[in-house]
Amino acid sequence: MSINLDQAQQTFIVEAREQLQAMEESLLQLESDPGDDDAIGAIFRAAHTIKGSAGLFGLEPIVSFTHIVEDVLDRLRNGSVEVDAGLIAVLLKSSDHMLELINVVANQGAKLAPPALAREMELCQILQEYQTPSPVQAPKAAEASDPQAPAETRLWHIVLRFGPEVFRNGMDPLSFLRYLQTLGEIIHITTLTDAMPSAETWDAESCYLGFDIEFSSAAGHGAINEVFDFVREDCQIQIVAIDDPVPPMNTGLVATFQEQDDPNTAMVTTGQLMPDQRSAARMPAQVTPDKQPATSDGKAKDGAYVRVNADKLDELINLVGELVIASAGASLLARHCNDDSLQESTSTVSGLVEEILDGALRLRMIPIGETFNRFRRVVRDVSQELGKDIDLIISGAETELDKTVVEKIGDPLMHLLRNAMDHGIETAEARLAAGKPAKGHLHLNAYHDSGSIVLEIADDGAGLNRDRILEKAQERGLVAPGASPSDQEIYNLIFEPGFSTAQAVTNLSGRGVGMDVVKRNITLLRGTVDLDSQPGQGTVVRIRLPLTLAIINGFLVGIGQSTYVIPLDMVQECIELSEDDGVCSREQGYLDLRGEVLPLVYLRDHFNHEGPASRRQNVVVVRYAELKAGLVVDDLLGEFQTVIKPLGKLFGALRGISGSTILGSGAVALILDVPALLTQIAQTDNRYTTPPLQQATVR
């Protein structure tokens, strides 16, 4: 079995980015609540973990810079440094620089750019100011410091014996020695060969290495011991200070074996250390070989997650989709055979396939909250750049949607937020003059509605200038001179390419680019975006995205010999259209549904099917956002779990069809894109803007 160090390093890069994201969130929490000890601990653990992991791979630039950050965080943790705006700012910039260093590692062969190097030097100088205690802080720092941490360089004797599984677990023994050198100087090293087997029993995949090391360092016993955290379960370590006949006091990282002949030797136990214990080297805890520490919730939580490649997940869901099709075909055959036991068996299989389907779909669903939380830093930085006081309020963070949608919606949300802060929310002076609080508010909200997810970005700013937008649109020829569009239509003009009403160009916006890109990116996700604005009160932008995945629940309908699938989440009800109602409805173009005006879409005509319509037709009432209509079909064939097969590039411009599927009979059915279909009908025949219909369709 070969060791794939590249793969291990890729795992480090992914996890380091996650640690930095958690570190940033905790820093923002600490800024709002300076007394939050949990946030301070989380920040320290993130930096400590990144430094330790980087040391294993010999990533010296990351180790050296993170070590300085960690020292400041350690002083923050023991109370030698107070939380203030300057400290939060430099730590946030340090987090950004650590991410840049990690990205350099990710882009193999790349080097840190000169501006980044200059920025690193500047950050180091600022951080060193926090490392040097002031005269007032010095006594306090001395009291809080570790009593066993030596102030001067000492000579240590380290005996290190790696276990046979080290190679198989993807570890490089020499990386630990390289990391050890970051804490001091290796004076002498001897390779231990007493564990070497004979040539007949030699296993090339096993590790037989051992080292006897004389090490000079000012670091304490706990700090040296932490170097071997990641390999602790696979090795035996003895660390003893040569000029100290008394073994160091137990820190919770080391347990002494009573049966050791040498009383000066401390043997590290294996498999007993929690991540939080490793980082809290200065917190005393009694650990003995016969008494295991209680398993923390954090440990159990960490073990509950398995990192899986997204491609493997896609492959699994694709196979489950094929399983759904095969199961439907088997059920169809069983019904034709008139065999009760066979039908019962296929029914059981269908139920299990449905459960597997639901489980597979949940694998790709992740909460939107993680994406929302990333914008806290954006709002903080942009508001400071603009000189505005803006608070971000998040709700609906637990709302789940598909991972691919979450990844692609980040950039459009970013632009809308920045635009709201720049153009929407006024300065503190303007807000006070208008009778508003000086602090502006941005709301991010997510919720499910009609089989879709709705994301709202709302601000309590000045709102959009309707007249200014209309004037600009008329100048550009987007609105005819004599036309009187509705407020909604005027507001949506800001999504036109190159459209801008900004009086001045800023670093954030005003160049007439961006909003059209936002709309295009959302449209590519088969979503829609619209906004509503009240002058002086604020603006709300609503993004509506489909939850459509590779597999959806559908409703089958028939037109002649053809079969179509309507997403079940958008189906409200089905009604029979009598022959008399059918003639009247065709003439009027709508149906009286319990006193409501329901516009009709005749799919037979829309898709140019040949042949006469069925004498008995049915109406499937569908709703998407504020649009509601009735789809007139020949036959209702019932619910059906279906797999979306994307159409080829040849059909890329086809409106009203989102894909195809294979039925149990082997026939192909087209899946209706209800949002696009209703929007297309509304635009071409403008029936959705008549007064009675507006009243009937808005919910």
Could you tell me the mean pLDDT of each successive run of 10 residues in the chain, 699 residues long? 63 88 90 88 90 83 89 87 89 92 83 86 88 49 42 83 81 80 85 81 85 88 81 82 53 35 36 35 32 38 65 83 83 86 90 84 83 88 89 90 83 89 88 90 88 88 84 78 76 75 50 67 78 88 75 83 87 83 69 83 85 83 82 88 73 76 79 81 51 33
pLDDT at 298: 41
CB 632 within 8 A of CB 602: yes
DSSP string, 233-273: GGEEEEEEETT-SSPPPP-SS----TT-S-TT--BPPSS--
Q: How many helices (H) and strands (E) does the chain have?
A: 22, 21
Which 3 state secondary structure label does DSSP give 669?
A: strand
Which H or E run includes 641?
A: strand 635-643
**Average pLDDT for the chain:** 77
Q: What is the CA radius of gyration of the chain?
A: 33
pLDDT at 287: 32
pLDDT at 684: 58
pLDDT at 485: 78
> Any idea what DSSP says for residue 424?
I
CA 89 to chain centre: 24
- The CA-atom distances, in angstroms, between 298 and each of 18, 23, 242, 415 are 16, 17, 37, 36
CATH number assigned to the domain with residue range 368-546, chosen from the 4 options 3.30.565.10, 2.40.40.20, 3.40.50.300, 3.40.1360.10: 3.30.565.10
Distance CA 601, CA 619 (A): 9
pLDDT at 446: 92
Delimit the domains of the chain by residue range.
5-144, 154-288, 310-366, 368-546, 551-697
pLDDT at 277: 35
Distance CA 539, CA 528 (A): 17
Architecture of the domain spanning 551-697? Roll (2.30)
pLDDT at 444: 93
Which 3 state secondary structure label does DSSP give 312?
A: helix
Query: pLDDT digits over 628-680, tens only?
Result: 889 999 999 888 777 777 777 777 667 788 888 877 677 888 888 887 788 77
pLDDT at 395: 92
What's the CATH code, domain 5-144? 1.20.120.160
Helices (H), 477-570: 487-491, 515-524
pLDDT at 621: 92
DSSP string, 132-184: S--TTHHHHHHHHS-TTS-SS-EEEEEEEEE-TTTTTTT--HHHHHHHHTTTE
Distance CA 178, CA 163 (A): 19
What's the CATH code, domain 154-288? 3.30.70
Strand duo 440-449 + 452-459: pairing? antiparallel
pTM > 0.75: no
Distance CA 390, CA 379 (A): 7
